[in-house]
Amino acid sequence: MKEAGVVLNSGGLPIYWHVPDGRTAGGLPDSRALWDVFWDNRNNLYGFAHSHPGSGVPGPSYSDVTSFAPIEEALGRRLEWPIITVDSVVVCRWVGPDRLTYAPFVQAVAPGWVDELRKLST
């Protein structure tokens, strides 16, 4: 399993699949291309989803939240951060009060793009 990601527009639809070289089961490198997609679509973003290895309800890692916060700060707005495993989907959101406090909210129904993200993660 290797992590993969997808940038989602405000309608929750995929606009960029992020499957860079150097990705591992425990890490998904960012890239200039990914940042360009964020910036070019900054007014029409829902967020960025990525996979975590294994099963069960995932939570955001320290690496996740230290990526979420500066991206939101640079864009000047809050985003949604879905994380998927082989059998669960959560959406992480900033809940404060400090800049790195994000909480996962379980999604009962998986969005349509989840199957493709799982496939790209295998």
Name the burial class of residue 11, with classes exposed (0-12), middle (13-18) and buried (19+) by CB atoms within 10 angstroms of its CB.
exposed
The predicted structure's pLDDT at residue 74: 97
Residue with tokens 């975590």: 52
pTM: 0.95
Give me the tens of pLDDT residue by residue for the chain, a chain 122 residues long. Answer: 999 999 999 999 999 999 999 999 988 988 999 999 999 999 999 999 999 999 999 999 999 999 999 999 999 999 999 999 999 999 999 999 999 999 999 999 999 999 999 999 98
